[in-house]
Amino acid sequence: MFHKEGHKIILITLVVVVLAIFAIDYFIVNIEWLRKTLMLVVVVFFLLILQFFRNPKRFTNLNETQAVSPVDGKVVVIEEVFEKEVFNEKRIQVSVFMSPLNVHVTRYPISGKVTYSKYHPGKYLVAWHPKASEENERTTVVVENSNFGKVLYRQIAGALAKRIVNYAKIQDDAIQGADSGFIKFGSRVDLFLPLDADIKVSLNQKVKGGESVIAEM
C-alpha cells in the first residue's frame, strides 16, 4: 500500500525507468556486464522510490491517556525546553529522526481537537541540527484533549526533504494514529508534551508511528 502523496511520483518514475531500460537495451549491446549493471541500478532506484512512499497499516490502540509516536524513526532528543511559538512555557520535547528508509507518514499522536496549524517557510539544515526546529521549513500543529491538554507536534524538513504536507486544519477532529501529513525525503518530528507527562521512550530507541507509546498521563 502506497501513500497518496507518492502516486504521481511513482507513476512518473515508472515511465522513466521503463524508458531507461529500453534505452540501455538498445544502445548498449556489446558490453553485457555494463548493460546488466545499468538495468539493475535503474530497477533498484525504482524499488527505493516504492519503499519510501509505502504506507503500511498501523494498529493504534486508541487511548486518551497515551501519546503515540507521530512517525517512524529513532528518538534523538528528550529534554525540557522553552517552547515559544505557541505555549511560551517549558515543555518536554521528544524528537524522532527519520532516515530516507523510514516510513514518512505523519500521524496524530493523540485524539482531540486541532487548535493550531501553521506552515513556516525556512532553511534546509540537516534535521538533527540544533537550530532545525526554529529555522528549517516546518509545520506546527496543536491537538487538545482533556487528559493531555495541548500537545504540539512539529514536522521539520531536513537537508533532503523539500516538501512538507500537512492535512491538519483548525477545528478538525484528530483521531490518534490517523494520517495527518507526509514529509518527503528525510526529516524529523518534534513532540512537545506537558512537564508532568511520563515519558516511555529512551534516547536512540526506534519507534513506530501510530503504535509506539511516547508518553502517558
* Distance, CA of 134 to CA of 58 (rounded, Å): 30
C-alpha closest to that of 97 among 78, 82, 83, 80: 78
Cell numbers that stand for 196 in this block: 508532568
Which one is catalytic: 95, 187, 202, 212? 187
Cell numbers for 18, please give them. 521503463
Is 187 a catalytic site residue? yes
3-state secondary structure of 139: strand
Using alpha carbons, select from 124, 157, 165, 118 the residue that is nearest to residue 6: 165
Dihedral (CA of 183, 47, 8, 123) sign? positive
3-state secondary structure of 118: strand
Positions marked active-site: 187
